[in-house]
Homo-oligomer: A and B are copies of this chain.
Amino acid sequence: MSHRNKLKILNDPIYGFITIPDALIFDLIEHPYFQRLRRITQLGLTYLVYPGAYHTRFHHALGAMHLMGKAVRILRSKGHLITEEEEQAVNIAILLHDIGHGPFSHALENSIVPGIKHEKLSLEFMKALNQEFDGRLELAIQIFTNQYPKKFLHQLISSQLDMDRLDYLRRDCFYTGVSEGQVNSERLITMLNVADDQLVVDSKGIYSVEKFIVARRLMYWQVYLHKTVLSAEFLLIKILSRARAVYNEQMIIPSVLKRFIRENLPAEYSSLLPYYAQLDDYDIMSAIKEWQHHDDPVLSMLCKSLLKRKLLGAYISNTLPDHTLVQNIRECVASRYGIRHEDTAFLVFNEALTNNAYDPQRHRINLLYRDGSLQDIALAADQLNISALAQPVTKHFLFYPKECWPKG
């Protein structure tokens, strides 16, 4: 394929057009590893609550790369040197930052390959691609792993205001239709700057950053931690967990998934990559469609529940749910569905979830004033209590079959 044909433009409902900046990036996008992301939804099962939210990891990665292009232009226009090689490297790093995600994104993290985070897997993918592309991803990997001297480049990929967040908040908001979460990513990028080799925000951007933090928090409670979304996602986790428990050779499983259900996977990850690189949402959903007819009543019930969207109820409280309440529900479940008491934990369970909208421990947002001084947004905001937002909020979710909730 000629160079000419490789310079492509893609339609994006949000940004209008996304231009693929060069031939190497074009080839990375064409690679089956990256094409796999077309088959992995960005928001897992969120579409069961927000019927528009089918957008994929593939699309998000392209969007984040598009924003990276804007950020590089803005920072250069403010006098910060970014070489052509560095530009390509940050583009690659953001494009591939999530390539290690498994099916249904966050929902199944830890369920497919227990104990390994997707960032670690993304790095493995990058290394494999680096080998395949003759070391041309070296700089991207250095920046991704924060080993490159110019630290602000890494922060474009991972920080409070990285291109990942700026794209996913906007995109998730767009596809869910939760318009209150809208973030003007392009505007925020216009206000980015660099000081002391840190990514900072020009001081006049203070209200935009406040709005960003509030919008992000709103998206957490209305989308990411929406109780029905969580109910669906924990159902998915329980399904995989139950499938492992009842696994035998007769079980119908998509071939590529079988390996991950059957075996205790080695801690050493790289040998698994070729198999993992074939896994996507279709394997999981297809398995669930088969397992709804499985002999095990727990597995069958969990699968039907998901396919027919008869999800578990969720009860939210600020403290752990009452032990007696939980026991009563379990007994109901055991007798009503003929399930052994020990197995009721697949249908009645408690999860604690925490959100803090602004986490200065991990990543700070600094404002850059005209006199060159820096100040943490949490201190600078005159009125909006960002310190309050920095406090983590934990909520306890008790999930249970609706028929077994105590009456009255």
**Interfacial chain B residues near A186, Cβ < 8 Å:** 16-17
Q: Are B51 and A54 in contact (CB under 8 A)?
A: no
A135 at the interface (CB under 8 A from B): no
Complex Cα spacing A289 to B283, Å = 9
Q: Are B62 and A56 in contact (CB under 8 A)?
A: no
Complex Cα spacing A256 to B177, Å = 34
A197 at the interface (CB under 8 A from B): no
Q: Are B51 and A62 in contact (CB under 8 A)?
A: yes
A346 at the interface (CB under 8 A from B): no
List A247-266 residues whose CB lies under 8 Å from chain B: 252, 254-256
Q: Are A50 and B208 in contact (CB under 8 A)?
A: no
Whole-angstrom distance from the CB of A125 to the nearest CB of chain B? 16
Q: Which residue of B11, B285, B382, B391 is within 8 Å of A178 (Cβ)?
A: B11
Whole-angstrom distance from the CB of A408 to the nearest CB of chain B? 14
User: Nearest residue in B to A32 (C-beta to C-beta)?
Assistant: B308
**Interfacial chain B residues near A317, Cβ < 8 Å:** none
Q: Are B388 and A52 in contact (CB under 8 A)?
A: no
**Interfacial chain B residues near A177, Cβ < 8 Å:** 11-14, 16
Query: By the criterion of a CB under 8 Å from any partner CB, how many residues of chain A are at the interface?
Result: 71
Q: Are A388 and B393 in contact (CB under 8 A)?
A: no
**Interfacial chain B residues near A254, Cβ < 8 Å:** 286, 289-290
**Interfacial chain B residues near A17, Cβ < 8 Å:** 186-187, 190
Q: Are B383 and A357 in contact (CB under 8 A)?
A: yes
User: Nearest residue in B to A58 (C-beta to C-beta)?
Assistant: B51
Chain A 382-398 interface mask (CB, 8 Å, partner B; 1/0): 11110011010100000
A175 at the interface (CB under 8 A from B): yes
Which of A91-99, A116-124, A209-217 contacts the other chain?
A209-217
Complex Cα spacing A255 to B303, Å = 15
User: Nearest residue in B to A390 (C-beta to C-beta)?
Assistant: B383
Q: Are A47 and B38 in contact (CB under 8 A)?
A: yes
**Interfacial chain B residues near A32, Cβ < 8 Å:** 307-308
A-B contact pairs, 24 of them (CB 8 A): A11-B52, A11-B176, A11-B178, A13-B177, A16-B177, A30-B309, A35-B307, A38-B47, A39-B285, A51-B59, A54-B54, A54-B55, A54-B56, A179-B187, A207-B218, A207-B222, A211-B214, A211-B215, A214-B214, A217-B384, A254-B286, A286-B286, A383-B388, A383-B393
Given pairs A12-B51, A35-B308, A38-B51, 14 additional interface contacts (CB within 8 A): A10-B50, A30-B309, A32-B307, A32-B308, A35-B307, A39-B285, A47-B56, A52-B59, A179-B182, A179-B187, A254-B289, A254-B290, A285-B286, A388-B388
